Structure 1
Amino acid sequence: MKKKIELLVRFQETLGMVLLSIFFLAILVQIIARYSAIPLLWTEELANYSFIWAVFMGASVMVHYKAHFAFTFFSDKFRGKKGAVYDVFISAVLLCFTVPMTLYGIRVVIEFWDYNWITLTWVKMGYTWLCLPIAGGAMTLYLAGHIAEDLRTLKSGEAVS
């Protein structure tokens, strides 16, 4: 399972980098087009939606690496079993966000599937919002893995640093 999770993380990192590159290229093309007085309306939409995807893919990866929002004041205070219990607590709190993000993300995708982009009418808005359930599902998977690992550590009695 860990190898599949690592593969998913690498895929999300790569996808995030590609989409961030598309964002920067779209901005660059938009700047050049404006100075050249060439109306390229699609660059703004492409930049916006590629940035949204990049942010959500990056957020998923950060959850995997435990680089998400946390109160470091407390995590620095707890070591050993208390640290593992605190990690389980933080992961459970984050699950209260990621599970609804996945479920409501699916609803958003279904709701907006038949809408189209304004400038690129052949692109469905459902593809744009597909990042919500994908990121939410990935975050949920990563958090479940963290919880399972912490519970194994607690059960075995090993100290967690």
Structure 2
Amino acid sequence: MPSKSASCRRNDRNLRLTPKMYKLYILPWHGNSDGGLGPLMIEGTMPDTGALSARRIVIRASSALLAFERLALMGLMYLLTALILVNVVTRYSHFPIYWIDESAVYCVVWLTFIGASAMTRLRLDFAVTMLTERLSPQHQKIAKVISTGLVVVFGVALIVTCVLWMDPIGLARAGFDGRKLAAETFNFLYTEHTQTLNWPTWVLYLTLPIFAVSMTIHGLANLLEDLELVPRTPLRGFQLSELDGVN
């Protein structure tokens, strides 16, 4: 009669592990001597580790980015409120500060793009449902995946446009000299300044590439959830009801 250790070695030889398959053997050590259950084998599949880690990276990056956007939105809202109050007080005091109006305008611009990026992840972007609401649930799911995929495509296209517009490679070749780049390519982005703040305009225009990258990350996270490749991630810090989501 073969011993238990010999039985284990024999079963171990039959065990073949692959990246997508595992086999688990459970031996009845407490079985009766006159008989009992044989070895129990369980087979299943394991998810691809590389794909799972990539999905996890996208979801974590989107969550971290959303948390940062929440803080940025609160800070910009406080700043905008303070600028408007100071502007009102100084105008009534007949000592207006000339650069506050322009500061408030650019503050609203940054608020708009950062808020639009956060709304993408929160699924608060607007959607026309006159067609999709007449489809079956399965077709509605397909339409939602297509819509989310188009958001990712738009984000990638915007990234490419910002790279072509801001031309970081050309700026590096010009020795980071904006005037030299303007003379060679007629791109005056790095030579212009704002009217009252006298800030370089490219610094304020950075909101466009930042928005493009953040929207793309949020769109990828939404697409993974719509494809059911990852579970829905609870969004912390935002008190949303079922009626708040438009899309």
Same fold, TM exceeding 0.5?
yes
Q: How far apart, CA to CA, are the structure 1 residues paired with 2:191 and 2:92?
A: 35
Q: Where in structure 2 are the equivalents of 1:61-100 lying within 5 Å?
A: 61-78=118-135, 80-100=137-157
Aligned mate of 2:209, from 117, 120, 133: 133
Aligned mate of 2:195, from 106, 109, 118: 118
Instruction: Describe the shift of the 1:78–1:13 C-alpha distance in structure 2 as closer, same or farther (beyond 3 A).
Output: farther
Aligned mate of 1:146, from 211, 219, 222: 222
Taking only aligned residues, the RMSD between alpha carbons, in angstroms, comes to 2.2
Q: How far apart, CA to CA, are the structure 1 residues paired with 2:204 and 2:153?
A: 24
Q: Which runs of 5+ in 1 are unaligned?
A: 154-161
Instruction: Describe the shift of the 1:52–1:108 C-alpha distance in structure 2 as closer, same or farther (beyond 3 A).
Output: farther
Alignment partner, residue 156 of structure 1: none
TM-score by length of 2: 0.55
User: 1:105 touches 1:133 (CA, 8 Å); kept in 2?
Assistant: yes
- List per-residue Cα deviations over 1:39-68 (Å, max 9, x = no partner): 311101110001100110000000001111
Of 74-83 and 38-47, the range deviating more from structure 2 = 74-83
Of 80-89 and 110-119, the range deviating more from structure 2 = 110-119
Aligned-pair identity in percent equals 25
Aligned mate of 1:14, from 54, 68, 71: 71
3-state SS of paired residue (1:72): coil
Q: Which runs of 5+ in 2 are unaligned?
A: 1-56, 168-186, 230-247
Higher helix share: 1
Q: How far apart, CA to CA, are the structure 2 residues paired with 1:98 and 1:145?
A: 13
Q: How many residues align?
A: 152
3-state SS of paired residue (2:194): coil
| Greater RCO, 1 or 2 (C-alpha within 8 Å, sep 6+) | 1
Higher strand share: 2
Deviation at 1:70, TM superposition (A): 1.1
TM-score by length of 1: 0.81
